[in-house]
Amino acid sequence: MGYKTRSKELTLMSETNFIKICKVSDLPNRRGRKFTIAEDTDIAVFKVGENVYAVSNTCPHNQTNVMYDGYIDDGLYLACPIHGWQFHLETGKVPAECKGLSATLETYNVKIENDEVWIEVKVKKKKWWQ
Ligand code: FES
- pLDDT of 5 above 50: no
Please tell me the distance from the alpha carbon of residue 80 to that of residue 83, in angstroms, as a whole number. Answer: 6
Ligand 1 centroid–CA 36 distance in Å is 20
In this predicted structure, the answer to whether residue 71 has a pLDDT above a threshold of 70 is yes
Q: How many CA atoms lie within 13 A of 57 on its CB side?
A: 17
Per-residue pLDDT band at 102 (split at 50, 70, 90): confident
Alpha helices in 1-130 (DSSP H): 2-12
Asked whether residue 89 carries a pLDDT value surpassing 70, the answer given is yes
87 lines ligand 1 (CB under 6 A): no
User: Residue 129 above 70 pLDDT?
Assistant: no
Is residue 94 lining ligand 1, measured as CB closer than 6 Å?
no
Domains of the chain: 28-122 (2.102.10.10)
At 11 the pLDDT is: 40
pTM score of the predicted model: 0.83
What amino acid is encoded at 25 in this protein?
S
